[in-house]
Amino acid sequence: MESVIEKLKDHLNHAVIGQPDLTNELLVALIANGHVLLEGPPGIAKTTAAKALASAIDSRFQRIQFTPDLLPGDVTGSDIYQQETGQFSFVPGPIMNDIVLADEINRAPAKVQSALLEAMGERQVTVGNNSYPLSALFFVIATQTPIEQEGTYPLPEAQLDRFMMKINLGYPSAESELEVLRMVRQQDLHKTFSSSIQTICTPADILALQQKALSLYMSESVEHYIVQLVMATRHPEHYLGDTANGNSLIDFGASPRGTLALDRCARANALLQGRDFVTPDDVRQVALPVLRHRIITSFEAQAAGLSEDELLNRLISHVPAL
């Protein structure tokens, strides 16, 4: 198991230069059996990371480019009338794969987003009167660009909650960008990219890692710490104090789904670190990507220029590990 994890890390870090947090958090979400939302400016390897992960696993990969004219059936598949038999037969859509890249998910209207998010939650698609199960590995990597507002349909908070993690990405450093420049030039010169893709593991290996993560030891004190962190997002006044006019800095805290996600992601992080037990540090390391899209900041917090990450960091520093 450890060799598979190390090989996956090396493969992703080689394919996505200068984004170590992205590669680690992608693996955390995969082992935690959740889905991820990548948000960042265009051209910073969001799609490359998804393709690199899929190439490392002997799995079926499909990219869906979300556009305003997309229909739910374009994602899930639909019943097509067969003239030869006089009957309808189901033609699977691109979502019926192991790893699905939902590129620019916020460009699609609400019905299409709902079709994808229902599949993420139920792990099946329903077309007509029939339901079709999805792959046991089924893993969605969705991307969105925050700087574009025209022609986009922002995901409602209730739908954002379906993603186990939201990963915020920024630009790489000058050193990393220089390394990317040289690597891409060599790939274009020698046409080596396609031949460099290697399969490291199978879906069965990933499913085994998911089961192993669930079996890691977690003490009762760590369980209480997870719950207290989530409770702190619902009652931040106990930790952050109120603003001058008495309003809280957080209008809505994380849901119970956030508690479950913290538990799974902390376990996955411990496994990636090569441990068979979970520590409070594991919880803290995954807290931001797990919780940042599950809280809604108040007007007072926004007026003060406080982001979700800043408020969560304050809570994390005030909530004691038992």
24: alpha, beta or left? (left if phi > 0; alpha if psi -120 to 50): alpha
Comparing CA positions, the residue from 160, 303, 297 lying closest to residue 240 is 297
- Residue 3's pLDDT is what? 84
Tell me: pLDDT of 254 over 80: yes
- Domain ranges within the chain, ordered by starting residue: 2-201, 216-318
- Note the CATH architecture for domain 2-201: 3-Layer(aba) Sandwich (3.40)
Superfamily of domain 216-318: Magnesium chelatase subunit I, C-Terminal domain (1.10.8.80)
Residues in CB range of 293: below 8 A, 6 or more apart: 37, 157, 160, 161, 163, 166, 308
Residue among 312, 310, 313, 308 nearest 298 (CA): 308
Q: How many CB atoms lie within 10 A of CB 134?
A: 18
**Phi and psi, residue 296, nearest 5°:** -120, 115
Tens digits of residue pLDDT in 161-212 = 889 999 998 887 888 888 878 877 877 776 654 445 568 899 999 999 999 9
What pLDDT, on a 0 to 100 scale, did the predictor assign at position 151? Answer: 66
Digit-coded pLDDT (tens) for 96-140: 999 999 998 888 888 888 888 888 888 988 888 888 999 999 999
The distance from CA 59 to its chain's CA centroid, rounded to whole angstroms, is 18
Burial of 267 (0-12, 13-18, 19+ CB in 10 A): buried
- Confidence class of residue 150 from pLDDT cuts 50, 70 and 90? low
What percent of the chain shows pLDDT beyond 70? 93
Distance CA 125, CA 76 (A): 6
Res 246: pLDDT: 46
How many Å separate Cα 163 from the centre of its chain? 6
- Residue 169 has which token pair? 């990405």
Per-residue pLDDT reduced to its tens digit, 34-90: 999 998 887 777 888 888 888 889 889 999 999 889 999 999 999 888 888 888 888
The pLDDT mean for the chain works out to 87
Q: What is the pLDDT of residues 8-36, one digit of tens each?
A: 888 888 888 878 888 899 999 999 999 99
